[in-house]
Amino acid sequence: RTVKMIPRVFTGERTFISASDVTVALFAIVVILFAIKKRRNNHQDIKVPPGPMSWPIIGNMLQMGEYPHISFTKLREKYGNVYQIKLGSLTVVVLSGIDTIKQALVRQGESFAGRPDLFTFSLIGNGASMTFGEKYGQCWTLHKKIAKNALRTFSQTEAQNSTCSCLLEEHICSETTELVKLLVELSKKEEAFDPIDGLTSSVANVICALCFGRRYDHSDKEFLTLVQINHEVMRAFGSGNAADFFPIFRYLPSPTLRHLIQFIKRMNNFVARNIEEHYNTYDKNCIRDITDALIALCEGRTIEHESMVLSNEQVVSTVNDIFGAGFDTISTGLHWCLLYLIHYPEIQTNIQQEIDEKIGSSRLPRFDDKVSMPYTEAFINEVFRHTSYVPLTIPHCTTKNTIFNGYFIPKDTCVFINQYQVNHDEALWKDPHLFSPERFLDANGQINKDLTEKVMIFGMGKRRCLGDNFARIEIFIFLTTLLHQLNIENPSGQILDLSPNYGLTMKPKHYKITVCQRTG
């Protein structure tokens, strides 16, 4: 048989290959091209979230502006409820829209229950913080159960003898009475004054009683130092840290980072000292506070048939988490409430009318009054919604490779939840930029629970804030007690600014109030 030879001159030598070799080669090329095409088609089915073009090194940092939550909301108009950006070297997926957020945090909750490996998060509790550092999993779930049981135990504990602390309600009501006295005294010294120090100290005393079973005098140096430390830590977190987005900054000298580490250490030392005192004086027959409740739950007990004992670091971090959340969120909420009351004096009049009708002048407000005061509850919810003073939740991250709304999101991707957008979504709220407590009332003047549940301030799903119910009831008691006893007004000539200072919790700009005691 004659074989046709094809010359090859690649090497300069005369060599030959057969026609059958060419056929095999062509067939191989066709198979490879088909495989490549199929692979491309498969990749087309796995889409990544859309998003704006990012710059080298800095990513989309320059697009964030003064108020990142506003920038995120504007980007949603172009890219939808699921999109991604780059902050330095960190890829972030931003979620908006209440249904999208529910899908992520509730229906696919386990997939989005992680916390990103941010450098600042690792500083808190050496990674043992239930809120910031601890990875999602069985240990975290049991840790959260212990913390929830400790909160529940304390709130339900009856005082059994004179050495035991009273109920949480007594702590809050007592502290609000002290705050009224303080504001009256301040009004005697100067007609107009900034209420923030008094508010912050009073709220801090409630959380100190809740966690440590004691209150401090407002002039106590240790107490004032504690309040200042917590303020500095929250401010440092709110402003963001370059080390989270540019890893090289973790190894460069940074006064801001050094001060943050110092503040966290001082806070941890304060909590650790109090916990050590509790271990030394612990009596299982007298649960004085949350720290005692944590100790009790860790003394050989089981949580729903699952045994777990918290390490000392975890106990410290748990108390720290409760302290930080119950302190900053509540004091900031009250600060906003007072600003809106002096900006809308007719609303203050409406709340006081409800107080007079439902409570009267012979006693002070109690927890049970909340259900019979829909207008006051509507006002608090509208402050939460309108200010959105927690504009983004603490960042989440994916715990595994996830398909979400048709997009592929890799494991350990940082996820931002835009609470501000939900609270100002025109699809949910009529005239969302208008402040109107009445939007939460039905035709009978009762609270519309379907609407209040749409307000996002404490997160959602597995990482929802532990103390949201405590925060709501504490703000209610503080607010109603103040307005039961005082008229709070805007000083003559003061121009009020409702725009916030950005942070993890957004604070009102500086303002002053005048107060006078109510008569009759």
| Residue keyed to tokens 């501000």 | 420
Q: Which of 432, 159, 427, 468 is nearest to 322 (CA)?
A: 468
Query: Which structure tokens are listed for 271?
Result: 């909590």
Query: Which structure tokens are listed for 128?
Result: 């043992």
| Residue keyed to tokens 């303002």 | 511
CB atoms within 10 A of CB 145: 15
Has 465 been labeled as part of a binding site? yes
Residues 6+ apart with CB under 8 A from 283: none
Question: Distance between CA atoms of 512 and 181, rounded to whole angstroms?
Answer: 17
Output Rg (C-alpha) for the chain, integer angstroms.
Answer: 29
The contacts found for 262-270 with CB under 8 angstroms, 24 or more apart, are 263/229, 263/232, 263/233, 263/236, 264/123, 264/124, 264/233, 266/225, 266/229, 267/226, 267/229, 267/230, 267/233, 267/320, 268/125, 268/316, 268/320, 270/222, 270/226, 270/229
Contact 259, 245 (CB under 8 A): no
Q: Which of 82, 137, 89 is nearest to 113 (CA)?
A: 137
| Residue keyed to tokens 């980072």 | 257
Contact 74, 80 (CB under 8 A): no
Query: Measured at the alpha carbon of residue 471, what is the angle toward residues 489 and 453, in degrees to the nearest 5?
Result: 100
Query: Would you call 11 helix, strand, or coil by DSSP?
Result: coil
Q: One-letter amino acid identity for 145?
A: K
Residue stretches of the annotated binding site: 465
Residue stretches of the annotated binding site for heme: 465
